[in-house]
Structures are given as structure tokens and as C-alpha cells.
């Protein structure tokens, strides 16, 4: 048992110490505000925030974890062991020249996303506005790295202190924005699609559409059998997020009452976990979210507990509060559309901390590191140019015992049109990610 002395054990202190020490390092901890108890304790111990007489292990503190509310912070960056760090402290006895706990809390709680910021056309916080992007550590799980450095100090000081650090995992996630390109969309949408293609002079699409509808060719978005085979080959943990929305400008899946669509979802649930993909429209109309979750729940005959926002539309803390109110326990939206990397600077699941309420919640966040559309649509890279990025993210995740979660779509696996050549990258990613 590691005893930690601090004069005030706030919710923020308990949250971030538990994440770094209990979850990432596997060390049991206990807090005390009694100096007498702390000095009399003969086991592993350290003090935080206040220098204690005769204490050999001390971590100086920034005020953040002892505050309430949200305010603009001066971060004061330094370099520490080759990586950026902030919230510098100026106590020579401190084990770190910065407050590792306050800095980790700032990143994991997404403190900066509660502050005034510019949003993109979809109402999203942009990667380019983040501290991680501005200071060059977006593609590094900095919180994990700091936790390991903390663990090394504790191991050196207390050789008998048992640690069980987190182990590397791989979870493949697939978003189903549109289960099929042409099939099962109804006569109105089928005719409308043909007319649009005629206006554009896209005769190859018309030929393909007709061949699919006449059952002479497989639908290009129907890559599910391929995913079943891949899952079996590599023993993958796979999660599908299905859009169950009414048709709209940004929500264009198969009609929710289509029987073939229902059969597909039930089939997917036989092979993997299935979660809700809250629609673009539900971002501002929470009543729609309730309907969408109910549709999927009735279809699966079970509660729906996993979620990922369509278009990754996320607003702190409103979106997560809404999910909590609808009994979602695990969310996979924590990542950026326009840049690869670690949005919260961590590659392990962690619980959402509601800064406005100043409390930890029961909603577990699973950060993803890379999305297919980020590479192809936003960064305009080729598959060959993307290999190094994907491999480096896998390597970073493995090095700290994190969980590597890519976000892919069924339609991007068709090796067709704008996704020609990307299937090879996907397969290489899966192969590397499953290799320990």
C-alpha cells in the first residue's frame, strides 16, 4: 500500500492519482491528511503539495487540483526527458520539475475544451487549437509516458512496492454510416441516386448501381463477410457502431425499418459488440438520441451501452452528460477528425471527469488514435504515405501498455474508387497491431 500525504484530498486529486497510480501502474493507494500518521508509516509513501520533514519523496503541486471552477491557465512549458511538460514547479526537493498530476489532469479532463475556443463547421473543438497539437505531442500518449516515469521513481525508491502496469491491447472499431451503397435504400432513393448520377454524367456509377440492384455484383459497402473472416483470422475484439437515424442531410444510412438492415445488425451482434452511432441531428436534439438507442435496443433485445458520435460531434460537458442520462456506459468518440493522435494524451480507457460538476462520472471513455477519413479525406495522404503514421501510433501505444483503437468504416474497406489501395494499409495495420 502506497500512502500519500496531502493536506486536502479533493475530487480532482483522488481522480487523477487513482488513474495514474492505481489504473496505469497497478499500485494500491491511500490518502492521509494526518502528518503524524504519515511520518509514522513505515511502508512506501510520498507527500504531495507540501514538503514534509524527513520525507525523502516529495512532489510539489500546482494549485489546479485544489481549485474549483474553470479559469484560463498559464501553462509554462519546459522540456522533461525529451518531451514537453507544463505547470512548472520551483522546489528543488520535488521529484519532478513540474506537477505531473495537475498536468495530467488538465489533459485528461480536457480542461481546454471548457474554455472559449473556435469551432469548426460541425461545432467541434479542432485539433489545431489544442495544446497537444501546438506543442508537438499530439501523437504521443504523454500521460502514459509520465505515469511510467513516476512508476520508475517509485520502483527505485521502494523496490518492494509491487506494480502491475497496464498491458497492451488492440480493439478494432467500425462505424456503419451507410451499411450499403445501393441496396435496400428504397425506390425513391434509388431513382434519386440514378438521376443525380445522370446529371453529373457519372455513367459508371449508374452501371454499378444497376448491377448491384440486379444482384449481378456485390454492393461495394457490403464488406461484412470480409470483416468476419478477418476477425476469425486474428482473434480480434471488434465493435460496430450503427447509425439508427431517420434520413437527413448528414444521416444517410439504410431506412431503419428495413428488414435486411435488421438482419445485418443481428448478424453483426453474433460476432461482435454493437453500439449506437448517435446521429448528426441528435447532437442538438436529444429526443432523437433516445429514439435511436431504443431502436437498436429493441432490435438486439438488450440494453445499448456503447456509443460513438456521428461526425465525432462532441461538446464538453453536454454531450457526455446526455449519454450518461441515456444509460451509455462506454463512449469511443475521444479523438479528432482532422489529425491522428491522442486527443486526451492518453491511450488507455478512463472515466469522464465533469469539470462543471467537479466530479468523476461512471462514463468510461475509450480514446481512438487514428481514423481512415483523417488520412484520406483531411490530410489527403496516400496509403503509402500513411503507413509510417499508423505504425508510429501502434508503436507508441505498445511502448506504454495502452489500448490501440483505430476507427474505420465498412465503406472504406471496399478497395474501390477513392478507397482504392487503402485495404492493404488496413490489413497491415491489423497485422502489426495484433503482433505483441
Ranges of each domain in the chain: 2-157, 169-178+221-434, 182-218
> What pLDDT was estimated at residue 186?
62
> What pLDDT was estimated at residue 162?
93
For residues 94-109, b (16+ Cβ closer than 10 Å) or e, as one string? bbbbbbbbbbbbbbbb
Regions of the chain where pLDDT drops below 70: 55, 186-195, 197-206, 208-210, 212
Contacts of 411 (CB under 8 A, 6+ apart): 177, 178, 181, 220, 221, 223, 419
pLDDT single digits (tens) 53-111: 776 799 999 999 999 999 999 999 999 999 999 999 988 899 999 999 999 999 999 99
What CATH number should be reported for the domain whose range is 169-178+221-434? 3.20.20.370
- Where do we find the cell 500500500? 1
> What pLDDT was estimated at residue 189?
62
Taking alpha carbons only, the member of 139, 141, 130 closest to residue 346 is 141
> What pLDDT was estimated at residue 50?
85
- Tell me the backbone φ, ψ of residue 226, rounded to 5 degrees: -60, -45
Contacts of 102 (CB under 8 A, 6+ apart): 16, 61, 62, 63, 64, 65, 87
3-state secondary structure of 46: strand
Contacts of 331 (CB under 8 A, 6+ apart): 306, 307, 308, 309, 320, 323, 352, 363, 364, 365, 366
Beta carbons within 10 angstroms of residue 162's beta carbon: 11
Contact present, 283 and 319 (Cβ < 8 Å):
yes
Amino acid at each position: 500500500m502506497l500512502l500519500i500525504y496531502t493536506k486536502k484530498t479533493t475530487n480532482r486529486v483522488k481522480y487523477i492519482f487513482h488513474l495514474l497510480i492505481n489504473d496505469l501502474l497497478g499500485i494500491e493507494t491511500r490518502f492521509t491528511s494526518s502528518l503524524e500518521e504519515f511520518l509514522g508509516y513505515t511502508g512506501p509513501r510520498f507527500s504531495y503539495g507540501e514538503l514534509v520533514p524527513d520525507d525523502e519523496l516529495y512532489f510539489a503541486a500546482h494549485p489546479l487540483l485544489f481549485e474549483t471552477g474553470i479559469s484560463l491557465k498559464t501553462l509554462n512549458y519546459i522540456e522533461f526527458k525529451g518531451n514537453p511538460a507544463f505547470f512548472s514547479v520551483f522546489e528543488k526537493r520535488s521529484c519532478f520539475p513540474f506537477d505531473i498530476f495537475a498536468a495530467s489532469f488538465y489533459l485528461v479532463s480536457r480542461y481546454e475544451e471548457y474554455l472559449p475556443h473556435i469551432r469548426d463547421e460541425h461545432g467541434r473543438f479542432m485539433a489545431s487549437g489544442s495544446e497537444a497539437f501546438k506543442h508537438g505531442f499530439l501523437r504521443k500518449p504523454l500521460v502514459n509516458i509520465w505515469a511510467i516515469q513516476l512508476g520508475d521513481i517509485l520502483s527505485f525508491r521502494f523496490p518492494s512496492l509491487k506494480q502491475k502496469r497496464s498491458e497492451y491491447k488492440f480493439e478494432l472499431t467500425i462505424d456503419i454510416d451507410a451499411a450499403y451503397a445501393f441496396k435496400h435504400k428504397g425506390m425513391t432513393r434509388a431513382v434519386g441516386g440514378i438521376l443525380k448520377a445522370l446529371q453529373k454524367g457519372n455513367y459508371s456509377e449508374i452501371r454499378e448501381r444497376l448491377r448491384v440492384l440486379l444482384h449481378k455484383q456485390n454492393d461495394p459497402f457490403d464488406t461484412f463477410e470480409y470483416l468476419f473472416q478477418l476477425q476469425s483470422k486474428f482473434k480480434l475484439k471488434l465493435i460496430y457502431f450503427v447509425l439508427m437515424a431517420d434520413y437527413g442531410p448528414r444521416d444517410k444510412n439504410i431506412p431503419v425499418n428495413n428488414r435486411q438492415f435488421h438482419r445485418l445488425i443481428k448478424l453483426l451482434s453474433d460476432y461482435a459488440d454493437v453500439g449506437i452511432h448517435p446521429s448528426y441531428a441528435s447532437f442538438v436534439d436529444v429526443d432523437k438520441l433516445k429514439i435511436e438507442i431504443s431502436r437498436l435496443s429493441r432490435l438486439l433485445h438488450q440494453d445499448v451501452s456503447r456509443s460513438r458520435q456521428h461526425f465525432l460531434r462532441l461538446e464538453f460537458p453536454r454531450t457526455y452528460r446526455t449519454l450518461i442520462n441515456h444509460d451509455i456506459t462506454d463512449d469511443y468518440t475521444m479523438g479528432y477528425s482532422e489529425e491522428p493522435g491522442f486527443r486526451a494524451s492518453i491511450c488507455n480507457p478512463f472515466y469522464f471527469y465533469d469539470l462543471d460538476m467537479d466530479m468523476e462520472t461512471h462514463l468510461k471513455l475509450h480514446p481512438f488514435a487514428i481514423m481512415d477519413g483523417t488520412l484520406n479525406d483531411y490530410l489527403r495522404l496516400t496509403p503509402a504515405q500513411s503507413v509510417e503514421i499508423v505504425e508510429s501510433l501502434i508503436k507508441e501505444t505498445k511502448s506504454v501498455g495502452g489500448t490501440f483503437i483505430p476507427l474505420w468504416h465498412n465503406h472504406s474497406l471496399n478497395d474501390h474508387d477513392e478507397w482504392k489501395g487503402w485495404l492493404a494499409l488496413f490489413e497491415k495495420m491489423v497485422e502489426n497491431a495484433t503482433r505483441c
